[in-house]
Amino acid sequence: MKIKRPNILFLFSDQHNARCLSCAKHPDVQTPNLDRLAAGGIRFTNTYTQNPICTPSRISVLASLYPSTHGYYGLYGPEPVMPMTSMFRYFKEQGYRTGALGKLHTPRYWIERDCQFVYDEFIEFPKYLEGAGFYDSNDNRRFTGNRDGNPSALPLEHSCETVLAKQTLRFLRNQGEPEDRGADDAPWMAWVTFARPHQPYTPSEPYASMYPPDAIHLPPTSATETEEIRQRRQEQKFHEANLRKMVSTYLGLVSQVDYGIGLVLDALEERGEADNTIIIYSADHGDFAGEHGLFEKKGGISTRAITRIPLIIKFPEKISAGGICDEIVEAVDLFPTLCELTGLEIPNHVQGRSFTPLLRDKPHPIRENALTENPYRKVLATKRWRYVANIDGQEDELYDLERDPWELQNRIHDPEYADVARRMLRTLLERVAQARRPITTLNGFWHDHKYDRDGRIDLTRCGERTLYW
């Protein structure tokens, strides 16, 4: 008898600060559905994104490639000239029916061609609202004005979270277009990507009033923070009342996303598929959420608040329940981990490492550090240290997370930390060199690339590194 491979439910959100989970002991926010996911699986506390903005981060997750290899550093961009293999393509080739639903935020048509079910929220949600009579209430439409920090005019039942959950149920039922449907008995992989808690911070009731601004706990700030952080506070016209308003509505959105996740988890359980489904929750990057006296992610974009992301994984009977792992994990590691958990060969065109050794009762570390890249910053994080190499004229940064978990004091010029700084910089240079593989050519701009035949060059057999790349 042929054994069905496990399904994959990949829950994802945009701009979720890893600290903002009640299971992570945040003093205010309530995330009961993510808490129950963590209670049945493992929550990781040291997971880092490969890029601190949406599109390049998502490409790194879905293709298991570092930005310096896939070449995308900005938002959207055209489809790669030749296919850059995503997990959708690979799992579809292995017999999975695949679905991408929600805020995709990837180069157009890159993943859509390999998905039997596509619900692109940017395109479809406005159509839904028009049919429901709420078109002018769409918080993301420019003509509604800047509504940050105010309640949404949309009822919760017409929010993007609720609609996405309903679309996910359609995928679970295999109700896509007839010519695109997979076999009903095939294993499935669904990437369900919520558009929030990214701004605009406009939760619907009851979440809009769930966290009274005067009652929330704000992280500390300091006059010793970097000039960029202090300047950004001035640009945001920082004052405590405004910050409290923004953070309270951000937390409301976190709970609203959690509500949408709960709808999906309930549907999965009602269908009796939860026990044979790998469930993952993560995000593309973080949000300040009050750290450094800021909100959103502009200014100090390589801070830990932005580069550290939540990660929870549950697979009944295969993963111990209720675990917390503080080992280093990178977003590129998700693709190969899913391959190993489903019994598939890990393809040689990925750059990540499977973190299944961390899912055991006695975890074995797979990494000592994590790399995050954007055009002007390269960042290395370990359990204790974070080094930020600023290559646009700003001084580098070094933070001692053990003594300074909020990153209020840059130690780069502190003689006590000189040896650490040299060691971290040397390791960062090695990681940057190792991360880049010659399958893309920038040709003077971020999105002008040339690819190997099908994007599947064997990265274990690339040519030697030279001074020219």
| pLDDT of the residue at 36 | 97
More confident residue, 171 or 141: 171
pLDDT digits (tens, 9 = 90+) for 149-166: 899 999 999 999 999 999
DSSP characters over 130-152: HHHT-GGG-TTSGGG---TTS--
Whether the per-residue pLDDT at 446 is higher than 50: the answer is: no
Which of the residue ranges 174-178, 238-242, 343-347, 372-376 has the most confident prediction, judged by mean pLDDT?
343-347
Band of residue 145 on the pLDDT scale cut at 50, 70, 90: low
Whether the per-residue pLDDT at 445 is higher than 60: the answer is: no
Whether the per-residue pLDDT at 77 is higher than 90: the answer is: no
Bond before 197 cis per omega within 30 degrees: yes
Percent pLDDT > 70 in the chain is 90
The secondary structure of residue 47, as a DSSP letter, is E
Whether the per-residue pLDDT at 465 is higher than 60: the answer is: no
Burial class (CB in 10 A: 0-12, 13-18, 19+), 328: buried
DSSP-based three-state secondary structure for 200: coil
pLDDT digits (tens, 9 = 90+) for 207-227: 999 999 999 999 999 999 998
Intra-chain end-to-end CA distance of the chain, in Å = 51
Angle, vertex CA 278, rays to CA 267 and CA 158, nearest 5: 35
* Rounded CA separation 341/278 (Å): 8
Q: What is the mean pLDDT of residues 313-342?
A: 94
Burial class (CB in 10 A: 0-12, 13-18, 19+), 96: buried
Alpha carbon 296 to chain centroid distance? 15
Band of residue 81 on the pLDDT scale cut at 50, 70, 90: low
Q: Which residues contact 193 (CB under 8 A, 6 or more apart)?
A: 12, 13, 14, 100, 101, 102, 103, 104, 105
Alpha carbon 120 to chain centroid distance? 17
| pLDDT of the residue at 182 | 79
Band of residue 358 on the pLDDT scale cut at 50, 70, 90: very high
| pLDDT of the residue at 141 | 67
Domains and CATH numbers, the chain: 7-362 (3.40.720.10)
φ/ψ (deg, to 5) at 279: -115, 125
DSSP characters over 75-87: SS-PPPSS----H
Q: How many helices (H) and strands (E) does the chain have?
A: 11, 12
pLDDT digits (tens, 9 = 90+) for 230-260: 888 887 766 889 999 999 999 999 999 999 9
Cα-atom radius of gyration of the chain, to the nearest Å? 21
Which residue matches tokens 């993943």? Answer: 111
| pLDDT of the residue at 357 | 94
| Predicted model pTM | 0.91
| pLDDT of the residue at 301 | 80
Structure tokens, 136 = 């002018």
CA pseudo-torsion sign 409, 415, 420, 421: positive
From the list 10, 4, 194, the residue with the least C-alpha distance to 98 is 10
| pLDDT of the residue at 2 | 60
